[in-house]
Amino acid sequence: MDDSAAASTTSSGPRDRLAAVRESAAWVCAEARHVKLNAEAVAALAGEVAAQAKDHPVLEGGAEGGVGWGEEIHFVSGSEAAVVQYLFVVDALNFCFWPSEGGWEYEDLSTALKRALEEDAEVLSADRLAHMSEEALCRLLGGRALPNMPARVEHLRQVGACLQERWSGSAAAMVRACDGSAGRLVDMIVTSFPGFQDHLQYKGREVCFYKRAQILAGDIWGALKGKGLGAMHDVEQLTMFADYRVPQILEARGVLEYSQALKKRIMDKEELPQGGEEEVEIRAATVHAVEELKRVLRDAHSMNIMSIKIDWYLWEEGERQDRAGTLPPHHRTLTTFY
């Protein structure tokens, strides 16, 4: 990949921005010293995924059918506009739960916000978000404080202020302006909201992941079952959402292979600095591994499936195995990106 392909994310268009995630992930993998992919393990995992495809709620239907999105832990009973506003708030706060002494998990966040919205339809209005305080956010979460509350409050204030300024306070209006394009929505989110600008430098080049911007587009598609504001003609262009859980299970399955030094740091639960070579290589290898898994599923098993469905499948498997205590520790990085 040349210098322009590693590119600058600020000048790229919607498709270029999503392509840049794939391209920069592949480039990092080619340059990586601490993480590599095992092709045999990718092929073995592809075989297992293909064997489950017909009966698994996330995998069934290939690229289009069987959305398999977690309705039980999300607010989905209101209007499209209310659902989209809710999802924007969830994904503005959806990062770095692991430092919590109270054992916060993603589903704790999503269900707390669901309860709050069911009790007060205006609780997530742009005006309230723009004037959010730590105390108000704690109340919103049922009296429990998340780690790094100042950053989360700042994210909500940014969301509220920008929605008020540009889209009359409505996240649904922003989505509607994207004309059914997940790529355009990711581009708009990254351009408009600093808290979603998930790009950094690796060996002198810019690398981008846009985890939370992409997951918001995927969540809207999933929650609305690909209809109405969830009808996105290019949703298959989204990549997986590079976080903690998916690389954890990919490493456990042998798809990701860590250097001995990196493996020891993770097993010792040592924090990896955000933007350090090791952390960037883990995230990039995770994105690239899912793209390779998708390619093998297509070429060897005649199975066309979107990257985000593979992500959902692996995330669920990771959650299940983590609860069972069968996974090694995940890497630890204090970040607002994931």
User: How confident is residue 102, by pLDDT bands cut at 50, 70 and 90?
Assistant: low
Percent pLDDT > 90 in the chain is 84
108 noted as active-site residue: no
Does the pLDDT value for residue 28 go beyond 60? yes
Catalytic annotation, pick one of 108, 187, 243, 322: 243
- For residue 98, the model assigns a pLDDT of 87
Greatest alpha-carbon span in the chain: 53
Q: Please give the residue that has the higher pLDDT: either 66 or 177.
A: 177
Reading the block at residue 121, the tokens are 């339809």
pLDDT of 13: 58
Give the angle subtended at the CA of 84 by the CAs of 82 and 87, to the nearest 5°. Answer: 110
Tens of pLDDT, residue by residue over 252-262, are 999 999 999 99
Looking at residue 6, its pLDDT comes to 35
Q: Is the pLDDT of residue 318 over 60?
A: yes
Q: Where are the domains of the chain?
A: 14-323
Helix (H, G, I), strand (E, B) or coil at 207: strand
pLDDT digits (tens, 9 = 90+) for 200-246: 999 999 999 999 999 999 999 999 999 999 999 999 999 999 999 99
Task: Give the pLDDT score at 59.
Answer: 84
Tokens of 297: 């599923």
pLDDT bucket at 15, cuts 50 / 70 / 90: low
| CB-CB neighbours of 194 under 10 Å | 12
| Look-up of token digits 């940014």 | 158
At residue 323, the pLDDT reads 85
Place of tokens 């649904």: 172
- DSSP letter for 35, please: E
Give me the pLDDT at residue 196, please.
97
pTM of the complete model: 0.92
Q: Which residues of 51-67 are buried (b: 16+ CB within 10 A; e: fewer)?
A: eebeebebbebeeeebb
**Quick one: tokens of 301?**
């098993």
**250 with 223: CB under 8 angstroms?**
no
- d(CA 33, CA 41) in angstroms, rounded, equals 19
